């Protein structure tokens, strides 16, 4: 039970940090993505997993609203690759 609360709290914190970040670059840019991770305080694989989940949620919301998702898709792809490295 405590792990779920910790996960939810951390997801909230990372979600807020993600919303405060500057816009994602239009094309894949590893340096910019690394800077975003640092700015958001992403420091562990668990944090990275949480961020992947958040980005997936934002992508789904954007698609429902028929907004472009290319920058989010590129960032999400980069995150998933980074997670398995």
pLDDT tens digit at each of 85 positions of the chain = 466 678 899 999 999 999 999 889 888 999 999 999 999 999 899 999 999 999 999 999 999 999 999 999 999 999 999 999 8
Count Cα neighbours of 39 within 13 Å in the Cβ-side half-sphere.
Answer: 16
Q: What is the pTM of this model?
A: 0.89
| Measured CA distances, 43 to 28, 36, 64 (Å) | 21, 12, 31
Residues contacting 69, CB < 8 A, separation 6+: 59, 62, 63
């Amino acid at each position: 039970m405590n792990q779920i609360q910790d996960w939810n709290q951390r997801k909230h914190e990372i979600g807020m940090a993600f919303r405060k970040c500057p816009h994602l670059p239009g094309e894949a840019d590893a340096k910019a993505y690394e800077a975003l991770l640092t700015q958001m305080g992403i420091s562990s694989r668990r944090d990275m997993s949480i961020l992947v989940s958040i980005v997936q949620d934002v992508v789904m919301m954007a698609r429902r609203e028929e907004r472009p998702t290319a920058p989010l898709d590129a960032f999400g792809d980069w995150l998933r690759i980074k997670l398995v490295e």
